[in-house]
Amino acid sequence: GNSVTQMEGPVTLSEEAFLTINCTYTATGYPSLFWYVQYPGEGLQLLLKATKADDKGSNKGFEATYRKETTSFHLEKGSVQVSDSAVYFCALSAGNQFYFGTGTSLTVIP
Amino acid sequence: SAVISQKPSRDICQRGTSLTIQCQVDSQVTMMFWYRQQPGQSLTLIATANQGSEATYESGFVIDKFPISRPNLTFSTLTVSNMSPEDSSIYLCSVEDRAGPYEQYFGPGTRLTVT
């Protein structure tokens, strides 16, 4: 079946630190992969996506590369800001279904 | 991308009552989805709503508890019936975008607290 396994949090970083949130997936066929972000008190926003192997999604300084050989889609940012504090969800789409990871809470302290 | 609004944004309800959540999209879409996000947890799909047909419910969710309407291609409602404190969650609607790579766009959510 299809599933997403996401690094557990919470994660606390100092401002300007490097961020990695791990995400691996299991899927039949060729899924699309996504990172969504949920800021406090808000709904989910699409952060970035990749639709095929070796694609790199990027947005707002965040990046993730679709790695078919390791079935991974790790989220990275070189220098986090306080405003990046949020919950991050890795997700995949296959067919008509979406599958979400459990979410990773990130807190960035000044 | 689609712009989605939800009403109400939050509510505090008494046990045993019902609440209807509205979801409005700024463009016509075939499929709309309703999710529940319990405190500190990920999203769980409640049901998929297609215009002109009965909603399709996921395992663990039933129509009597979560009736859904889908009267046209831009609107849907989800009712949480006979509420208990365990229903306290964020409820999100989403739509799919088939114009490009398949993805989902989410509304801002309805934060429900049942006392």
- Number of A–B residue contacts, CB under 8 Å: 46
Cβ distance of B43 and A102 shorter than 8 Å? no
Nearest CA-CA partner of A60 in A44, A73, A77, A75:
A77
How far apart are the CA of A108 and the nearest CA of chain B, in angstroms? 18
Mean pLDDT computed over A9-37: 94
Instruction: Identify the pLDDT of residue B100.
Output: 57
Whether B103 shows a pLDDT value over 80: the answer reads no
For residue range A54-91, what is the model confidence (pLDDT) as tens digits?
A: 999 999 999 999 999 999 999 999 999 999 999 999 99
**Euclidean distance between CA atoms B42 and A87, whole angstroms:** 10
Mean pLDDT computed over B87-93: 95
Cβ distance of A43 and B92 shorter than 8 Å? yes
Whether A102 shows a pLDDT value over 80: the answer reads yes
Specify whether the backbone of A103 is left (phi greater than 0), alpha (psi in -120 to 50) or beta: left
For residue range B13-33, what is the model confidence (pLDDT) as tens digits?
A: 999 999 999 999 999 988 899
Whether B101 shows a pLDDT value over 70: the answer reads no
